[in-house]
Structure 1
């Protein structure tokens, strides 16, 4: 009896001592997955970078005995370091379809490798246990249940905010914008000027067509006092970032001239730039040509190309070559190409002009001149060790 009691006490002491050492991380993903399946526990992954300042603050927390007791008891633990990430780690995240662009994240997977919960992290053992860890164990509250809640009609701000955070990790832009609109519909309109409204704007809104953006861009005098520390006074940058994301999204492909005009006004209003044409000229030119207003498109071309470098000018010329149709427009582009030839001295600029003129000749279907210039361009590219791949688009012409 005494022998059995000593053995029991020894095992108990060993278990307590082991947990008191903090969170135990497995050395490899395969080992962690096998152990999680064998013990029927969720797999917890700290997704971090060894050079990340915030990630470094978590290290002492992982040594906390309370953290060790909770995480070692309830999960199998593993760490993915994005600095020189291991191939098997990279494949595992890719298979999850998560598109993580920042660190740190706490990720939890079931034994079938389905994501059941995810969360940001901060150096607070109480938060990481009670808010993150316990939620990961709760089938109702963890993020895996958010889609079900949403479909069933739960449009509470709490659920919508959490669901937005989740779908952003999958880069589901359509769903992200839909949830952002739901958030605006659910939000008390008499509280739009509050910190809570600003937080939703900052973290959940990615389109200028959202109600939160509209409110704040029309009330920029109230857009202050929400950021602290190094970000204090930078609230307007949130609007600028949303505007940039919209400009760089596929949404611009459906803009008409009225929408483009309003976007240019927003660019100036938010202080993003005093030259709004620089952000939307390509879309505006395409719409003008489509609407049969090529003369105005040509005027825009002349405006954009003025005072540009040769590299910048050839880029603009090539964009317009793709869309213009009228002889006057094409002749004006050729005139610009000729003028640039007289200025080009650098090999990169000369190479750009060869490429641009070849595209011009291809557009007007001047086969003889095209073949002669292609031969000359090929010789120049080879002699000066330029990127020959750029000329491959002309093969077979």
Structure 2
């Protein structure tokens, strides 16, 4: 494996394997807790090509451990059904033939119960493997497990994104959960806090994960390198719903000069009048949340906007989106705290005053940057099929930073590079502004 996974102890013993087993079991239980409020009918729905049915998610993360740990390193392991290797392979072309992504919702069999039996089967085999691991393969097993656990965390976030999109198609606007942490109700008497700007001097920055400092990172974060960053200013918080509403009311979606050519073509083709999930009722904007349809909180960060919308707003506001190097320059000195899935809002919430410091850098919304998703200097893919994890997507995508309200707090870091196509809106994505100048 690459240096991204060299952080595991070089000579792990069985005690360490048992610690990894406990972490594995906690994470697997968290995935099932996300699915607990679902009805069986919900598990099957695929509301668009980018959304996967919940049943597929919980099977795919199970397949990952089976394909990359159990089959290579547990000689007596017997798969529950050989066909699952085809059905639940996401995109690993060097491993086998993946089932087409856009057709995942057509697979009614195996059933939901079958998929949970599959999870239990693999979990039992993983427990047996980690309780009595083969000594000669243990370092590699733990390196792959170190990737597999964050992989499942990514799918936990994707589950919440996809469940939201699935339920939002229903005109009844059913709530995924009705017991979320309070905080979604708007506060109309409050004024939208004014936007502040923080100045940063020009200089050479160290960007990317430093393998020498330890800790897990994906391969796309590796290749720590120096980068000169010109003086810039960064907004002290993300753009709010209220500010984005002003853009809408000023004809933002009808004024082509704000938009990139591809963005304007997308707006016209899709007929976008507002962020995803927004709907006007009796002159008041509402939006669908995992707690149901609620009035838009004007003070909370705007969410479910594409890169195209974020860039158009920045043009309208006389600013721009930050580069990912600028974002990391600011983020590396900000505490890793915020509104994550652990807070159980499952929705961006208004922040307190920033008091001259960057606020909401982590959590609430993934923040679009103006940077294309490309490899860092010295980037090396993982060997074998796991090399397809990140590197093959380094084209036609834009980088987002900071995590969101559906991200696990222990999954994020300042160097984390998320990426989506510029037209994507179903992620918990927002943005903050930047501009040239500064110290």
Q: TM-score range by the shorter chain?
A: under 0.3
Q: Which has the higher strand share?
A: 2
Q: Which has the higher helix share?
A: 1
Larger Rg: 1
Structure showing greater relative contact order (alpha-carbon pairs closer than 8 Å, 6 or more residues apart): 2
Give the structure-1-normalised TM-score: 0.22
